[in-house]
């Protein structure tokens, strides 16, 4: 997996399934391979959200800062998509994302993709649907965990 | 209906509110059971509750029940002193029939103390590991401190080639594992197309959503087994306390296939 180029990797990832060759080629041009060591941040709360990430290996913690330290809200692993604030005004990260293991990812230039999506509603709609999928999964997870199911079971 | 007498041999603390009680029969005759079955455990003078058996169905060791201390009877059971005599009725109900998964991949999905009723099935698989293909355990817990059977999880992964994935609702200091919902793992687990078997145990919401996620992965609903929990009382299908429409869960369950349960689980307050 880690030896695949971006062009080889993207068509096999569900997030990009259904994109035609031209769109895939464009998306690949907006992408770079990145690596984070444990403790390094992919992004910090409040900073401009100008990217999103598809993790290839490793683990990332999505966390928020409290007075007493940081609280991890979710983790993301290989093949997970991290970050949707690049698509939602005011384009600022709402949480921190920190690598908790050696993490390789594909980073996508959000500004580059936003501009293309504005001019190509077909691609924009496809990508928006995929991002909504990611958001819906995270929202579902958060809602079910609010039920504290394991705490109340006898 | 009369309980057999069992003596508490020892008790193991599994986490801050869960203990496993080891029982020896006073008459010397071990209790035969199938993985997934439960007994009615009684503290004389206090009360009786249904508890799944968490030990090895093939072993000759003590009868094991993993008990979460959440009420007066479960507290009395969990903290029964060595030597104290308890009442045991059963075993009752249907089992996992895990041997039905031989030759194929098996996925076990556990939530919270739902790992305890699945433990006998895992021990059964470990005893005949070569008869199965890929075996995966997906386990969701409230926090890292709530994770049960830590030694078992390591043994199953390291010695028995079982893929063990743990995910918690909330992390704690130093936790670098997964945080999220156990159903998220179902999309990532590797299993083949034939003879797949899925065993699911945990809170009903978690089981229902796990079953839906398994169906979305192509698992036949008749090959997804869930362990249902209701207010078991008599254990033999007479009193009706555990009725789920036409089913008596103490008799027809607790383990049932999702194709039979799906229409019943979709209804509120049934």
Contact (Cβ atoms closer than 8 angstroms) between residue B225 and residue B189: no
Residues B40 and B147 in one domain: no
Asked whether residue B214 is domain-assigned, the answer is yes
Spatial neighbors of B180 by CB under 8 A, at least 6 apart, are A74, A75, A141, A145, B167
Of B112, B178, B209, which has the smallest distance from its Cβ to A153's Cβ? Answer: B112
The size of the A-B interface in CB pairs under 8 A is: 66
Interval B152-209: pLDDT, tens: 999 999 999 999 999 999 998 889 999 999 999 998 888 887 789 999 999 999 999 9
The predicted pLDDT at position B40 comes to 95
Residues B23 and B141 in one domain: no
Asked whether residue B40 is domain-assigned, the answer is yes
The predicted pLDDT at position A1 comes to 45
Residues B112 and B72 in one domain: no
Name chain B contacts of A154, Cβ cutoff 8 Å: 68, 70-71, 74
Residues B112 and B11 in one domain: no
Q: Say if B188 is an interface residue toward chain A (CB within 8 Å).
A: yes
Confidence of residue A69 (pLDDT cuts 50, 70, 90): confident
- Mean pLDDT value across residues B55-61: 88
**Mutation for A interface: B180, B182, B216, most A CBs within 10 A:** B180
- Mean pLDDT value across residues B54-80: 92
Of A71, A101, A151, which has the smallest distance from its Cβ to B176's Cβ? Answer: A101
Asked whether residue B160 is domain-assigned, the answer is yes
- Judged against a pLDDT cut of 70, whether residue B125 lies above it is answered with yes
Q: Say if B209 is an interface residue toward chain A (CB within 8 Å).
A: yes
Of B173 and A93, the structure prediction assigns the larger pLDDT to A93
Confidence of residue B210 (pLDDT cuts 50, 70, 90): very high
B113/A153 CB distance under 8 A: yes
CATH superfamily of A6-147: Jelly Rolls (2.60.120.10)
Residues B21 and B48 in one domain: yes
Residues B87 and B30 in one domain: yes
Of B70, B71, B179, which has the smallest distance from its Cβ to A72's Cβ? Answer: B179
Residues B79 and B194 in one domain: no
Name chain B contacts of A75, Cβ cutoff 8 Å: 177-180
- Judged against a pLDDT cut of 50, whether residue A154 lies above it is answered with no
A154/B111 CB distance under 8 A: no
Name chain B contacts of A101, Cβ cutoff 8 Å: 176
Name chain A contacts of B139, Cβ cutoff 8 Å: none
Name chain A contacts of B207, Cβ cutoff 8 Å: none
Asked whether residue B250 is domain-assigned, the answer is no
Question: B92, B116, B145: which is the final residue of a domain?
Answer: B92
Confidence of residue B52 (pLDDT cuts 50, 70, 90): very high
- Judged against a pLDDT cut of 80, whether residue A27 lies above it is answered with yes
Asked whether residue B49 is domain-assigned, the answer is yes
The predicted pLDDT at position B244 comes to 86
**CATH number of the domain to which B161 belongs:** 3.40.50.80
ipTM: 0.88
The predicted pLDDT at position B95 comes to 96
Split into its structural domains, chain B has a count of 2
- Judged against a pLDDT cut of 60, whether residue A92 lies above it is answered with yes
Q: In terms of residue numbers, what domain contains B78? A: 4-92
The predicted pLDDT at position B191 comes to 82
**Residues above pLDDT 70, as percent of chain B:** 100
A149/B205 CB distance under 8 A: yes
Distance from CA of B65 to the nearest CA of A (A): 13
Contact (Cβ atoms closer than 8 angstroms) between residue B92 and residue B251: yes
Residues B115 and B208 in one domain: yes
Distance from CA of B168 to the nearest CA of A (A): 9
Question: B77, B92, B107: which is the final residue of a domain?
Answer: B92
**Mutation for A interface: B49, B171, B206, most A CBs within 10 A:** B171
- Judged against a pLDDT cut of 70, whether residue A89 lies above it is answered with yes
Asked whether residue B159 is domain-assigned, the answer is yes
- Mean pLDDT value across residues B6-23: 95
Asked whether residue B247 is domain-assigned, the answer is no
Nearest chain B alpha carbon to A142: B180
Of B114, B179, B202, which has the smallest distance from its Cβ to A75's Cβ? Answer: B179
Confidence of residue A3 (pLDDT cuts 50, 70, 90): low
Interval A106-132: pLDDT, tens: 999 999 999 999 999 999 999 999 999
The predicted pLDDT at position B194 comes to 76
Name chain A contacts of B188, Cβ cutoff 8 Å: 77, 79
Name chain A contacts of B210, Cβ cutoff 8 Å: none
Distance from CA of A134 to the nearest CA of B (A): 11
Residues B36 and B131 in one domain: no
Spell out the domain ranges in chain A.
Answer: 6-147
Asked whether residue B257 is domain-assigned, the answer is no
State the average pLDDT for chain B: 93
Q: HEC string of chain A?
A: CCCCCHHHHHHHCHHHCCCCHHHHHHHHHCEEEEEECCCCEEECCCCECCEEEEEEECEEEEEEEECCEEEEEEEEECCCEECCHHHCCCCECCCEEEECCCEEEEEEEHHHHHHHHHHCHHHHHHHHHHHHHHHHHHHHHHHHHHCCHHHHCC
Residues B217 and B110 in one domain: yes
Name chain A contacts of B68, Cβ cutoff 8 Å: 153-154
By CB atoms closer than 10 A (0-12, 13-18, 19+), residue B174 is exposed
**CATH number of the domain to which B66 belongs:** 2.40.30.10
Lowest-pLDDT range of A76-90, B24-38, B255-269? B255-269
Residues B193 and B174 in one domain: yes
Instruction: Strands of B36-175 (E only): list them.
Output: 38-43, 47-52, 63-68, 85-92, 106-111, 135-141, 162-168
Name chain B contacts of A137, Cβ cutoff 8 Å: 184
Question: B75, B92, B109: which is the final residue of a domain?
Answer: B92
Distance from CA of B189 to the nearest CA of A (A): 12
Distance from CA of A29 to the nearest CA of B (A): 28
- Judged against a pLDDT cut of 50, whether residue B261 lies above it is answered with yes
- Mean pLDDT value across residues B120-130: 97
Interface of B with A in 91-120 (CB under 8 A): 111-114
């Amino acid at each position: 997996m880690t030896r695949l180029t971006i062009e080889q990797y993207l068509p096999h990832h569900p997030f990009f399934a259904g994109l035609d060759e031209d769109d895939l080629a464009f998306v690949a041009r907006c992408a770079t391979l990145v690596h984070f060591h444990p403790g390094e941040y992919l992004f910090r709360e409040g900073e401009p959200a100008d990217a999103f990430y598809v993790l290839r290996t490793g683990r990332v913690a999505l966390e928020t800062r409290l007075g007493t330290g940081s609280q991890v809200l979710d983790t993301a692993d290989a093949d997970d998509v991290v970050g949707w604030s690049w698509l939602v005004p005011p384009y600022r990260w709402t949480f921190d994302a920190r690598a908790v293991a050696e993490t390789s990812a594909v980073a996508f230039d959000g500004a580059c993709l936003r501009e293309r999506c504005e001019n190509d509603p077909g691609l924009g709609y496809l990508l928006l649907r995929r991002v909504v999928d990611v958001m819906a999964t995270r929202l579902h997870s958060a809602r079910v965990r609010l039920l504290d199911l394991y705490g109340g079971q006898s | 209906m009369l309980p057999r007498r069992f003596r508490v041999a020892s008790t193991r603390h599994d986490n801050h509110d869960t203990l496993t009680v080891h029982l020896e029969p006073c008459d010397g005759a071990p209790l035969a059971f199938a993985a997934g079955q439960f007994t009615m455990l009684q503290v004389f003078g206090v009360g009786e509750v249904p508890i799944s058996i968490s030990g090895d169905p093939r072993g000759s060791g003590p009868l094991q029940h993993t008990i979460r201390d959440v009420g007066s009877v479960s507290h009395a059971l969990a903290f029964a002193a060595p030597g104290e005599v308890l009442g045991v009725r059963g075993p009752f109900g249907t089992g996992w029939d895990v041997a039905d998964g031989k030759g194929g991949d098996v996925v076990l999905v556990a939530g919270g103390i739902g790992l305890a009723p699945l433990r006998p099935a895992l021990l059964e698989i470990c005893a005949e590991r070569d008869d199965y293909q890929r075996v995966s355990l997906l386990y969701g817990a409230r926090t890292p401190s709530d994770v049960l059977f830590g030694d078992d999880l390591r043994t199953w992964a390291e010695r028995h080639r079982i893929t063990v994935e743990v995910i918690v609702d909330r992390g704690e200091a130093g936790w670098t594992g997964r945080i999220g919902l156990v159903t998220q793992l179902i999309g990532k687990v590797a299993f083949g197309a034939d003879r797949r078997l899925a065993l699911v145990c945990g809170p009903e919401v978690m089981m229902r959503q796990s079953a839906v996620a398994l169906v979305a992965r192509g698992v036949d609903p008749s090959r997804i087994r869930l362990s249902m929990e209701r207010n078991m009382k008599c254990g033999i299908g007479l009193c009706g306390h555990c009725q789920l429409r036409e089913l008596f869960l103490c008799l027809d369950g607790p383990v049932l296939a999702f194709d039979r349960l799906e229409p019943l689980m979709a209804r509120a307050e049934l």
